[in-house]
Amino acid sequence: MKCGLSLFAMAAAVMFTLCPVVAQSEQNAAVSKKTADAASLSEIVRSTAGPFEDYCDGYGNPGANGTGYVSVITLHVGKVPKTLKLAGQNGEGLDGTAAFDTAEALEAYIGQINLIVASSFSGLSGVIWGYDIAKADELTHSPRVPLFTLKGLDEIPVYSMEPLLDAGKRLFGTREKKHFPMLPGAHITAAHKEIIVAGPTTAWCGMALGIAKDRSRDANLIMELCGELKPKSYGKKKYFNQVLHKLADSVLLVGKNQGVSYKEIFVGIRHEFIPSGYVGAALATAPYVVLAKNAIPQAGPQALLDMTISDWENDRKTLFLK
């Protein structure tokens, strides 16, 4: 009996010792699985459908079918004649608001939304329209030629953002020909910067997108910048080329501060001369959205991973908003 009790006590002691190890192992496995799920584009895309048939909606609003979201890259510049100025008013007032709304309605249509400005990361539960899903046709070609490269520990290519801007325009459509725009009046969180200026000047907006080297743990970075260029102050071509280089440099600086490496960077810019008597607005905006149900292929959201933007457009164009 004594021997039996000793064996029983020994077994209990072994179990007591092993249980915390087993529990810790299970916890580690759960954490690893959660990280793997977060990094899985397929899992993310599966949960990016919004509640509306014809309209995209803001990320985090009620009714979406999961926790995934889509980052859409857009740049806008617009102008209006100065007609709403009031005596004693500071700034551009209602003319500035009208210029802002005009800019929203140009190129990719992002008008009639309640814009909520957020920081500028597309994280582990996000995908990028035109890059990860409905991939821009140019991004499928090889080799891709960069605008320039950045030298560091690694050589990082910097590409034109134009294919991503085109993809965003083809998702939302335009003011005249809407595809799947954001729901009018929706609350839309976005990476965003803006400038409102009175002519004569040139209003401009630029953006850089850094793609994280390890997307299982790091977010992609969106850097926005807006400004104005007064007449005869600089040569436009040289100045805007400098803007693109500074945007790319800023990605590396943020990466250094955060301990994040990026494998490639995209940069883009829009600018327009604002004549005397006009007010202009420039917006660098990347909305975080969930997709309209009709924007999702019949085969399911994951099919977007294997489609180019042209494939997607041909598949969905009969359902574009009329």
Which active-site residues does the annotation give? Answer: 224
Q: Do the strands 201-212 and 220-229 form a parallel or antiparallel pair, or are they unpaired?
A: antiparallel
CA distance 277 to 3: 101
Q: Do the strands 187-198 and 201-212 form a parallel or antiparallel pair, or are they unpaired?
A: unpaired
The terminus-to-terminus CA distance of the chain in angstroms comes to 86
Contact 81/310 with Cβ under 8 angstroms? no
CA distance 271 to 273: 7
- 27 exposure class (CB count in 10 Å sphere: 0-12, 13-18, 19+): exposed
Q: What angle do CA 189, 194, 199 make, to 5 degrees?
A: 155
Query: Residue 188 pairs with which residues in a beta bridge?
Result: 115
Helices (H), 105-234: 162-172
Contact 205/75 with Cβ under 8 angstroms? yes
DSSP secondary structure letters along 110-123: --S-EEEEE--EE-
